[in-house]
Amino acid sequence: MAEEGGKPEGEGDKKVVHVYPLVKHSDMVEEMRTEAIELSITACEKYAQNYELAARTIKETMDKKFGTYWHVVVGEGFGFEVSYETKNILYLFFGGNLAIVVWKCS
């Protein structure tokens, strides 16, 4: 039976989950940003139940590819304020409410 708005019952209550990466902020160059996003998605899919292991994997790979001093936070429901080197930060959401922050500081 349809409600007054013309939608079937319960349809308006559905939660939208984004499975694609949603970049909230980044000042990385395009090539580095693309690699960091792909790396982050791969690690988070591989270690979906272990955010610490996903963050460690991302950090170690970024250290090897783009030099040392990378830091990574993977989780849900956190805030942050960091100092970072210009052109070296990425903040994105993946799979709904999973947030990933990757930044470099020396």
How many domains does the chain fold into?
Answer: 1
Average pLDDT of 57-72?
97
- Report how far residue 31's alpha carbon sits from residue 64's, in angstroms, rounded to the nearest whole number: 16
Q: Is residue 62 part of a domain?
A: yes
Contact between residue 94 and residue 41 where contact means Cβ atoms under 8 Å apart: yes
Average pLDDT of 75-104?
95
- How confident is the model at residue 25, as a pLDDT? 96
pTM: 0.80
State the residue range of the domain holding 72: 18-104
Q: Is residue 9 part of a domain?
A: no
Cα 2 to chain centroid distance, Å, stands at 38
Q: pLDDT higher for 45 or 16?
A: 45
Q: Which helix (H) or strand (E) holds 23?
A: strand 22-26
Rg (CA), the chain: 17
